[in-house]
Amino acid sequence: MHYKVRHTTTYLYSDAVVLCQNQARLTPQTMPGQVRHSFSLDIHPEPVVRRRWSDAFQNEVWYFSVETPHHRLQVTSRSLVERYAPGEIPAGMTPPWEQVRELLREPAEERERLAAQFRMESPFIIELPEARDYALTSFTPGRPILEAALDLTRRIHAEFDYSPAATAVSTPTREVFLNRRGVCQDFAHLQITCLRSLGLAARYVSGYLLTAPPPGKPRLVGADASHAWLSIYVPGSGWVDLDPTNNLIPAEKHVTIGWGRDYGDVCPIKGVFTGGGGQTIVVAVDVEPVDAPRDDD
């Protein structure tokens, strides 16, 4: 599948903003299962400073500084991405989860050492004994790690309600666990908390999900969504994506932007500003299937 992705964030201020400085993580990754063919970032008003680099997790970061007084800031990213399904991994043939836990405690190879950093607590992921107990229902003794992780994914999907009004970005995972409701970000954080509580490596993934309109209805521009899921490290297979919101392994309909320890590492846009008064934020995402690009495109 090939997609044109457009992500527009508009900030509206009641008073003039005289200075704003921001970081944006909006560039799709090129990785196994995904190729980024093009990317552009349009910012209005035009920033006086703009630069990019790769962060510690190899996500592309754009920094920009707008120093023109403004009541409206609009940031639009445009991408052309090719996405194809990863090869199927026999879940029952993956190593026992306890073996993976021991491997990550004293990693010998570079890839295990890099994965081991995702075993630790982070600002949004703190140790919860109740999450560990919840995870152990799936992670029974000797069970293959991916088989157990898929069972945990299924249980979160079945036992937690998707409820956009129930949480905010700052809602603690403990509250999500107790109330059994939240959104994709919450479910990703919850499953990561469960996995890390067992000594396993799990990272937060930010991206997009192609959505389908109701039968007989046209696609609405801007109706697709920013989405979040997670990856678990499986020796011999690498990082395997899991989507507890939809109970599946992400494939052609998921577009990956980046990953980190939790949401804070891959927030699409964050920054500071001077002035502004009241603030309103409007986000529109459009993921449009397109024909494969020609060599002369």
Comparing C-alpha atoms, which of 128, 144, 96, 114 is closest to residue 259? 114
Residue type, 234: V
Q: What is the pLDDT of residue 258?
A: 97
Rounded to the nearest 10 degrees, the angle between the axes of helix 184-197 and helix 129-136 is 80
Residue in this structure with the two tokens 């060599």, named with its chain if needed: 295
Picking from 202, 105, 204, the residue whose alpha carbon sits closest to that of residue 145 is 202
Place of tokens 């937060």: 204
pTM of the full structure: 0.93
Sheet holding 254-260, edge to edge: 238-242, 225-234, 202-209, 254-260
**Per-residue pLDDT, 117:** 95
Q: What is the structure's pLDDT at 291?
A: 84
Per-residue pLDDT of the chain (297 residues; tens, 9 = 90+): 899 999 999 999 999 999 999 999 999 999 999 999 999 999 999 999 999 999 999 999 999 999 999 999 999 999 999 998 878 899 999 999 999 999 999 998 999 999 999 999 999 999 999 999 999 999 999 999 999 999 999 999 999 999 988 898 889 999 999 999 999 999 999 999 999 999 999 999 999 998 876 676 665 555 677 899 999 999 999 999 999 999 999 989 999 999 999 999 999 999 999 998 889 999 999 999 998 765 555
Question: In this structure, what token pair is assigned to residue 82?
Answer: 């090719």
Residue 85 is predicted with a pLDDT of 81
Nearest to 4 by CA among 75, 76, 105: 76
Give me 141's structure tokens.
């003794």
Residues 37, 78: Cα–Cα separation, whole Å: 11
